[in-house]
Amino acid sequence: METRPGNERTATPIGRAKTAVTLAALVILSAFATNTATPASARATDSTMVANDVPSSEIVTTVPAPKTTVLTRIKSGMASWYGSVLQGHLTASGRRFNMYELTAAHRTLPFGSRVKVTNLRNHRSVVVTITDRGVLYPERVIDLSWGAAKELNMLKMGVDPVKLELITERG
């Protein structure tokens, strides 16, 4: 190989010394570097206690499990709405009817059930709570409060085809 200026491969004593010091430092540090890390849970003297004297049972119960919402299709059919005529009257569940709330009456669903109602004409949806019994006409599947009917944009029609889905939480 031909030697040209700037292409020399000669090691200087200073460069050799730096390399030797660096290698010696790595050897010394590697002697002290051992994997002796112990998890905090293994060091605790009491198996029910972890760092900061918090019982492990408390830590487990304070972390909520993730919930998933499940929609179960109940029925499709016609929905109607009711409002000012029954404003302030007691419902079958014992609550006072408020036409502006998102509530509904159903024949069989338990009180407090949450139902997603989808208007099949315009595909708008609303979640209502069942607070009353009823549905006066047999061809209707649910009676909505004025507020729920307004959200579904069905006030002028009075009656619209809907799809009902029961909302349950699992997890």
- The domains of the chain, with CATH numbers, are 68-170 (2.40.40.10)
Tens-digit pLDDT profile for residues 103-159:
999 998 989 999 999 999 999 999 999 998 887 788 899 999 999 999 999 998 889
Q: Quick one: which of 84, 149, 82, 83 has its CA closest to 121?
A: 149
Q: How confident is the model at residue 39 (pLDDT cuts 50, 70, 90)?
A: low
